[in-house]
Structure 1
């Protein structure tokens, strides 16, 4: 398979013509851009000893946007041509009307590179990928006779974007993504349980396919499944909870992160609306959204409006100090854009979204935090969850959790759910560990029907008085 760099202005569309049409669409508007994208992706799934699915997808198109006040006109097409762009201009102009405004200042430009531009799909032949998946299946089954099913997935994609701004700037970015995931089902005495883990980021497939790496992943998936085989019904009630480092930061992402996105706060629908400068979390709690971490799943050189990605402090020592902003919401709120204007694809308009959202570590030893837990739950892994942005109320299911009594970690528990609200939970943080870690690179975030890759992270935390929904009274 040969790879030709995405250069729409070198082929089917003349850049000077496109710029003239973009300026026609944004005349009298506050902002706008022409977003062009080509995306290719491949996924191989090896399940229960055979290839279950092998897919390859390719798409390309453009999205044209004109913004005037709180209104935005958006048109998109898979046809990157002058004729299609002219039709899009007519649609985008409907939002501008007679206009009369002036374009906002252009975003700053950056030469920073946060990840490689190599195509991860082409880093290994199709047959090599299948051979690795077969090896994973055979290796994992040989680890434990209780293994009855193994599912392994290798996925890679390459997104190439060009953003043409009305000021004439043209920005280009190549965004790779690779991921390996392994799931295991074990059976003992008629009882079946599962475990799953994986990882990846904006890197190539080479590292993920190294034998030592996938063997570590396979052992971890098996460990989780084996732990759940001995799990007892979770208790229910209000109790203290210790959250592990790393992936449990998904609770922070959902229960707090979404509430700190600019659009929800501008519209007054967030539980954090109107609280800027106030204490919204316990002392010592500092939360950042950082899209500048090299090779991370949620990182972007610049966002989908052209604003360079940033390292943005949202909560500092418990005080709310910032929101995540795209250009439109930042302008309407009288603040600067933070590099958080993201979209799923050319067919979607950008909106404020998280990148890598995490809490900084404290000075407590994680072992001491657990020793201080008198009667509660130690939650290490999470599955699905639901959050109401307007009040921050959340419900999260634990995939790996343990009962703790008098500082001793006891039996694993099954069926535990954590229930609470983000604002209250942040104020009830009683201890912050010194072991801050980021997740292994498995997160996707949904908002308004759009999905984007994200990262999460946190240290070990003790949160007082969460409601634990379990399967035993």
Structure 2
């Protein structure tokens, strides 16, 4: 898409004309907006010294939404023109009908900027990015002669959004994103194991491409692969588990976070529905969703309805005190948006979504927590998992775990899975470390077919009442 075609929204849609069409679409509605988006993204993947993928994508379009009660009419197009907007208006207003709705109050404004608006694609040229990936490949092989495969990737994007509200407010946000990933495979006596690591955020590619940064990422991927080469079959059965800090917060994200999104609770299908003000976790457990952390992958200056992001306490000292809301679900539940109305892009309707969700630290020494584990598992890394929102039941695969006996960390384990349910697991937290860590900036979250970047984290935790699924009884 050329720069001539990919030009500012205001040169193709006159504000007064677009506002008139929007107001016509929202006649009788309670809420709605015109969401405009353009996005450019690029990725480069080097696999065993050869380019496996080099892609560039540029998209733009709009989505027009009219909301009334529990119903929303939505139409979208990649043609940003007055004619397309009028067609979208006719479609969206079909859901509203002719009844007289009262428009909800607009979101409050903000002058806060949580990240740079510099295009992360502009900091380095293609040749430099390719040279960096080749250096990564060579460095990994120099570090360990057992390396048989190296896959390294760099990705960056810039999303620009504008939101036109029926009262005439125009809101804008420019969102950079960059990410580096390294995966390696080691071979030892015919046994092959893998390890991966990465990082990123709403930053430029320059910092990720710094040698001291990517060398650390490579060493971590090699360390994990080396650990997996020594792993033995995991035991199975009920046992206590110590979960490490940082990325293992994905368990909290899936098993608890999704259950605290407003739409699931309004519909009464979450394991946490109707439990506001009740104890849903052990004392000392405080969980927050914070979209205001500078430069973090999950942060947003404003959400995709125009509401400023916020630091929202969800569970406080074990008591459920809040849900994450978009404008529609917040209003229907007698409250307001918490700045969590998010969408994948202009072709998608917003819904309550997490930003960066984590548990606050406690006062326990992580070493002392492990020393108190008499017979169990120390889970440091997680891969994929499955969660049932209605009852909170989850199954998570461990990518790095160790057997612990008498407080001593022993052999690495393979094939370990953690099985439980979110509310019960939260009530069985027996120790909370003072070592809160956030993930390195690699998280994506899926919901109803939409993917958005997120963050997560936690301190070291000891949990009882979990079932470990393994490959040995």
Q: TM-score, normalization: structure 1?
A: 0.99
How does 1:287-302 map onto structure 2 within 5 Å?
A: 287-302=287-302
2:153 aligned with 1:161 = no
Mark the CA change 1:134 to 1:4 in structure 2 (over 3 Å): closer, same or farther.
farther
Partner residue, 1:121: 121
Contact 1:34 1:64 in 2 (8 A): yes
Contact 1:6 1:160 in 2 (8 A): no
Q: CA deviation at 1:101?
A: 1.1
Partner residue, 2:387: 387
Contact 1:287 1:357 in 2 (8 A): yes
Q: How many residues align?
A: 473
Q: Deviations over 1:163-184 (max 9, x none)?
A: 0001100001100000000001
Aligned-pair Cα RMSD in Å: 1.2
Q: Deviations over 1:283-342 (max 9, x none)?
A: 000000000000000000000000000100000000000000000000000012100000
Partner residue, 2:132: 132
Partner residue, 2:263: 263
Q: CA deviation at 1:48?
A: 1.2
Q: CA deviation at 1:10?
A: 2.6
Mark the CA change 1:57 to 1:9 in structure 2 (over 3 Å): closer, same or farther.
closer
Cα separation, 1, equivalents of 2:58 and 2:235: 48
How does 1:149-188 map onto structure 2 within 5 Å?
A: 149-188=149-188
Contact 1:380 1:400 in 2 (8 A): yes
- The alignment partner of 1:336 has SS state of coil
Partner residue, 1:422: 422
- The alignment partner of 2:208 has SS state of coil
Cα separation, 2, equivalents of 1:379 and 1:130: 35
Q: TM-score, normalization: structure 2?
A: 0.99
How does 1:83-94 map onto structure 2 within 5 Å?
A: 83-94=83-94
Q: CA deviation at 1:3?
A: 7.3
Contact 1:358 1:458 in 2 (8 A): yes
- The alignment partner of 1:206 has SS state of helix
Cα separation, 2, equivalents of 1:320 and 1:128: 49
Contact 1:162 1:171 in 2 (8 A): yes
Mark the CA change 1:22 to 1:170 in structure 2 (over 3 Å): closer, same or farther.
same
Cα separation, 2, equivalents of 1:327 and 1:359: 25
Structure 2 residue runs without a partner (length 5+) = none
Comparing 347-356 with 97-106, which one deviates more in the overlay? 97-106
Q: CA deviation at 1:192?
A: 0.2
2:31 aligned with 1:31 = yes
Partner residue, 2:461: 461
Q: CA deviation at 1:194?
A: 0.2
Contact 1:276 1:322 in 2 (8 A): yes
Q: CA deviation at 1:465?
A: 1.7
Contact 1:36 1:62 in 2 (8 A): yes
2:203 aligned with 1:203 = yes
Contact 1:68 1:99 in 2 (8 A): no
Cα separation, 2, equivalents of 1:451 and 1:290: 18
Mark the CA change 1:345 to 1:141 in structure 2 (over 3 Å): closer, same or farther.
same
Contact 1:366 1:434 in 2 (8 A): yes
Cα separation, 2, equivalents of 1:168 and 1:33: 10
Partner residue, 1:323: 323
How does 1:395-434 map onto structure 2 within 5 Å?
A: 395-434=395-434
Cα separation, 2, equivalents of 1:24 and 1:181: 47
Partner residue, 1:73: 73
Cα separation, 1, equivalents of 2:125 and 2:7: 26
